[in-house]
Chains A and B, each alone.
Chain A
C-alpha cells in the first residue's frame, strides 16, 4: 500500500484529460430495464454489427471483418477487458473506442501473445484494452477491423458473444467474383431474419436478430458449434483476372490440400526401421506387432502441441517425432502410420473432428476437424489408432472420437468412415464391499474393478504419480479422501496392463459410519454418495461426461447378532434413454444387501433430461440422507 502511494504521488498530473460523457436519463432507465432482464450481467451490447467483406490480395481471397458495437453498462460500475483475438494469418487494422457523443476515447490498448495452457506454443495473439464504465447507463461505441489474409482460415461468424446483444446484425457482402456458400447452423431456436439483395456487383446478405444471450459460462458443455447460432463460410472458388480458382468447393478439395501438406514429409529412415525391428522382432503374431508399436508410442512419445501457421495442419516427420520423443497429434499419427507401414501393414493418416465439433465432412471447411489419428487396414477391417491416448487398448476408442466421421487417406481420393461407438457396459466400474460392524465401525474386504475407458482413466492417473507417492495416493483415492476411511492390505492386478480388467482388492474400515444412541444403531452405509446434490438448476446446456459410464456398487452388511433391522430406506429406480439410476436395499437373511447403479448411457445428460435427472437426484439425496436403523432385540 505504501509503495503504491509513493508511486502515484510521483506521477505527473496525467490521465484525466479524457472528457467523460454522462449517460442520459434515458440511458439510465434503459440500463435498469436491461439489468432486470440480464441480472447476472454487467455489460450489454445495445447493438452489435459485423460486416464481412472480401478482396483479392496476392492471388488469395482476403477477408475483412468490421465489428461495430454499442456497449452499455447495466450494473452500478463495470471494469472490463475488451479483447480481439488474432493469429499469424490475420491482423487487427482498427481497434477504437468512442464516447456516447462519438468522440474518440483515448483508451490504451495492449497487444500480447495469447498463451493457452493446453498448447506448448501457438501463434495466437490478443489486442485488448481495459475499459471502465463509471456509472450505470454509461456507454461506449467500439469499432474494430480484423483482416484475415486467406479466406481458408476465416471459417465462421457467431451471433453469440461475451455479452448479451439487444440487437445483432451480420452482413456479408459477396462480390460476383467469389463463390461462397453461407451455411447456417443452430438457427432453429432463434428468430433470425435473413435478407438478400444484389447491389451492383455484390450480393448482400443480412442476418438480423435480437436479444441474444451471452456465451454460457458452464463446464462440461458441448462445443460451441452445437449450441450457438452461427454461419459457416464455405468458400468454393473465386475468379481472379479471368481465371477461376478452386478453394474448398467440395470435400475432395479439402482432402487435396491436407494431402498436399503430407506429400513432402520424408519417409525414409534407418532409425525408424531399427526401432520397428526392435519392437516387432520377437512378436509372433501380427496383432502383437501392431500392439507393440501402438503401445510403445502411447507410452514413450509425449504429446506436446504446436499451433503455429501451417504447422497447425502439417504433420512432423516420423523420424523427427521418434528422435524427439514428442509430437502433436499429427506427428504422433504419422509416426504410427510410418512404423506400421515399415512393419508391413496398411496404415493411413486420418483426419477427424472430435466430439467437440458439430460438423462432418459434408461441409468442406477447416472448421470440420481438429485432430489426426491413424487407420489400420487389416483383414478387411479398419481399426483406428489414436496414439495421443494413454493406456488405450488396441481396438478400443475414446469417447471423444466415437461416432465421429473420419477422413482416411486413400491416395488421390479419400474414404469417409465413422469411428465405431461402444456402450457404457464396456466401461464398467465396480465397487464391492463385504462389511460387518465391529466396535461401532464398519470394516471388511472391498474391491474396485475397472474396464474400458474407466480403466484407461484409472491407469493414466495412477501412472502420472511419482513412484514413491503411488501407494499413498492410491489409498487416498480408494478412500475418496475421506479421512474417516482407512485402507490397508491392498492387492492389485497389473497396473500397467491396458487390456485386462483392473482389480484392486483391499481392506476398508470406516470409523464414522455407525452412530449408536441407546439401543439403536444408525448406519450411513453408502459413504461415497456419488452424484449427491448433482442437480442442474440453472444450466442451459447439455452436461457431457468424459465417457459413457456404468458404475455399480454392491455392499453386503452383516447384521450383528441380537440386532434386527427396524428401518431401511426405500428402493428407487429410474431408467430412460440417457441414464439409469437405481438403488435397492434388501434384507437377505443375516445381511443387508445394498445395490446401486449409475449408467450414463450416451455420456451426456441433455437439457431435456434435466427434469427427470433432477427428480432422480432429489430422490437419491433423500435415500443418501436416510439411515439404516438396527435395533437391539
Chain B
C-alpha cells in the first residue's frame, strides 16, 4: 500500500516540522524584541511572509506536476495527483496569508482590507486555485480531468509572479519585500532575521509533510477507483445485458 520508506520519511518530516514550528512560536512570541515602530505587532512578521512563501512554493509544485502530466513523454497520473495535492495545501496557506495579513493590517494600517494591487492579486490567487479544485470535482475520467486541471493550474500560476511583483509594479499600501527584494539585501537584522528565516524553514517542512500525506490519500483514492473500474468491466463481461446501461 504505502512503502515503508515513504512512511518513515513522512513521519520524520512531521516530527521535525512540529519542533521547528514550536521553536518559531517561542522565538517569535517571547524571545525576539519588539520593533521600533510596530512594537509587538512585528511578531506577526515571523508567520505572514513564510506562509505566503509556502503558497508560492505549493503552486510552483502544482505547475511542475501539471507540466509533467501534460508533456506526453512524462505523462503519468501520479504527476496529476501530485499537482492536485499541492494545490489543496497551497489554498490552505493562501487563506492563512490573507488571514494573518488582515490581522496585521487592522492595527498597523488601520484597515482589515484595502483594494491595493498586492491584496487584490493575492485574493485572486486564492480564488483561482479554488477554481482549480472545483474544476477537479467535475466528474469525468482521470485523463480528461488531468489535462483540464493541468491547463487550469498553469494558467492560475501566471498570478504568482504578479503577486510577488505587484508591490514594485503598482503603488500599494502593502510594503515591498523585506528579504526577497531586487537587491537581495534584507532590511531586517539579528535575531529578528533569524526568527523570520526559521519561520520560512519550519512552514516549508509543514508543507512537505502535508503534501506527502495529501498525495498518499490521492493515490489511495485513485487506486480504489481503478480497482472498481476493473470490477465493473469484469461484471460487464459476465452480465452482457447490463453492459449498455453501464457504458453511459
Q: Answer whether A and B are interacting partners.
A: no
Chain B positions within 8 Å of A, measured between CB atoms, are none
